[in-house]
Amino acid sequence: MMIQGREGQSYAELQNSVFAMMGAAQENPNVTQVYSTFNTNAPRIDVNVDRELAFQLGVQPADVYETLGAYMGSTYVNDFNFVGRTFRVLAQADAEFRNDVSDLAQLRVRSASGGMVPIPPSPRSRKLRARTRGASQPVPLHRASGPGCAGGLHRSGARLHGSAGRSDPARRGQL
């Protein structure tokens, strides 16, 4: 299911609508594990990699981006089964070490010679408060079928859509 602000809502209003929809869906016993990855509170850092300096240091820009993605975001490691459930393992730095542009100075990447060198600095890197998606772009809402819901995800999706009008009657049909 996708939730979209069609009336010029701010990011905070869109996030409130997403949370309201998640709450309404969680009350339905036929739908479980409702979540969204949309989060307006997550810090954003705009990083410009100095490609020429990277090459001079013997580092491929792709390696720089991979390091930035793993430490400033997250990277998939694997899945494992435990007590009949599957858990996903992600690697990422603690929040306190990835909140600011100054944290980039702590990161190292392997060079062609095998040594670890600092991420090539760029004076244009900065912290952003603007979101990467416009508030009018759809926000995904994910869910799974509840116990005994024989119709699978298709039926639970229909039940989730039925919850949309109840969570915000003023926007019925617009979520």
- Residue 62 shares a structural domain with residue 85: yes
- Residue 145 shares a structural domain with residue 169: yes
Q: Is the pLDDT assigned to residue 134 strictly greater than 60?
A: no
Give the domain range for residue 3.
Answer: 1-40+131-175
For residue 87, the model assigns a pLDDT of: 93
For residue 88, the model assigns a pLDDT of: 93
Q: How confident is the model at residue 83 (pLDDT cuts 50, 70, 90)?
A: very high
- Residue 15 shares a structural domain with residue 5: yes
DSSP assignment of 73-130 equals: S-EEEEEEEETTEEEEEEE---GGGSSSGGGGGG-EEE-TTS-EEEPPP-TT-EEE-S
- Residue 84 shares a structural domain with residue 159: no
- Residue 115 shares a structural domain with residue 138: no
Decide which of 129, 151, 167 is a domain's last residue: 129
Tokens of 123: 């004076």
| pLDDT-above-90 percentage for the chain | 15
For residue 112, the model assigns a pLDDT of: 92
For residue 174, the model assigns a pLDDT of: 43
Separation between Cα atoms, residue 40 and residue 42, nearest integer Å:
6
The domain total for the chain is: 2
- Residue 47 shares a structural domain with residue 71: yes
Q: Which of 17-21, 136-140, 149-153 is predicted with the least confidence, judged by mean pLDDT? A: 149-153
- Residue 92 shares a structural domain with residue 81: yes
Which domain CATH number covers 100?
3.30.2090.10
In total, the chain counts a number of residues equal to 175
- Classify 65 as helix, strand or coil: helix
pTM, two decimal places: 0.49
- Residue 147 shares a structural domain with residue 169: yes
- Residue 140 shares a structural domain with residue 166: yes
- Residue 121 shares a structural domain with residue 90: yes
CB 167 within 8 A of CB 21: yes
- Residue 71 shares a structural domain with residue 15: no
> Which has more pLDDT, 102 or 128?
102
Separation between Cα atoms, residue 157 and residue 44, nearest integer Å:
31
- Residue 49 shares a structural domain with residue 111: yes
